[in-house]
Amino acid sequence: MFIYKCFKKQSIIKGVKVISDEKAIEIASDIEKIDIDVKKTIEKAVTAGYLGVEHFYCTVIHEGTYTTPIDRLFGENPPKIKLDNFYFDIISKALDDEGIYISLAYCNGEMRVPGDAVDEIIEYDDYELDEDELYFQRHYVLLTSDATKIFKIYEEEGISGHRPTDDLGLIVKYDDGQYYSYFAVRSTDLCMSTLQVFPLSADLAKEHEFSLINPINKVLIEMMKDVIVLKN
C-alpha cells in the first residue's frame, strides 16, 4: 500500500462533473502545436511529490515508443543527474531526434491520501446502469505537482484506470520545422523492464485506459494542462 504524505489544507468538493468529450479532444488538439517551455515544464513537473520524493522522470524516446531515463544513457555507472545546463543540453538533442516524454501525472488505485491533502473529490455519475446494479466503488488518487484529487467510480461502469507502475504526461518531438506535443501514458510492467509511451487517442472507447474520453483521463488532462508552462 502506498501512503502519500502531505499536509495541505484544502476544501473538498464532491460530485463535480468531468469535462465533456469534446472539451477533452479540444484541449488535446490545442496542446499539439502550442509553444511549450520544455525547461520550465520539467522543472515544475519534477516536484509532483510522488511518494514525497522529487524525481527526474523526463525520458528520451527511441525506436518510436520506447523510453530511456536520462541517467541510463551513461551505462552502468551514471553521473548524479541534476537539472543543470548539461541535463538540458541532452534534452535539446533528444528533441531534435525522436523526442522526449515528460511525466506530469499519476493515477493510483492503491494510494491512500489523508483528507486534508485532497483538493477535490470527483464522483463520476454518468452511469448507464441502474443504481441497484452498482456495488463495487473504486477510488483513484490523481496527482500532479499542482493538485491531488480523488476520483470515485463504480467498477460496473467498466472504465479502466491506470496501474501504479504507469504515469501520464506529454510526448514532445520536433518534426518538419515544428514542435508537437501529445498527451500520453508511459506504461511499464512491475519489473520495470518495459517502458513504452502510448499517445491518448480519441478513437478508443471511453472504457479504454488510453482513451482521451476516458473520464479518469479527462480529469488528468485538465490537471496536466495546469502543469504545462508556455513560453511568453
- Residue ranges per domain, the chain? 8-227
* 57 touches 69 (CB < 8 A): yes
pLDDT for position 69 = 80
Q: What is the pLDDT along the chain (232 residues), one digit of tens a residue?
A: 344 444 343 444 445 578 999 999 999 999 998 889 999 999 888 876 554 555 666 888 988 888 888 877 887 777 777 888 988 999 999 999 999 999 999 999 888 888 888 999 998 866 555 666 667 888 999 999 889 999 998 887 789 999 888 889 999 998 888 889 999 999 875 555 557 899 999 999 999 999 999 999 999 999 999 999 998 7
Distance of CA 162 to the CA centre of its chain: 10
Q: Which of 142, 116, 144 is nearest to 55 (CA)?
A: 144
* 180 touches 33 (CB < 8 A): yes
Cα-trace Rg, the chain: 18
pLDDT for position 126 = 64
E strand or H helix that includes residue 3: strand 2-3
pLDDT for position 54 = 59
* 8 touches 116 (CB < 8 A): yes
- What does DSSP say about strands 2-3 and 120-123: parallel, antiparallel, or unpaired? unpaired
Give the whole-angstrom CA distance, residue 180 versus residue 68.
Answer: 20
* 38 touches 148 (CB < 8 A): no
Residues in a beta bridge with 40: none
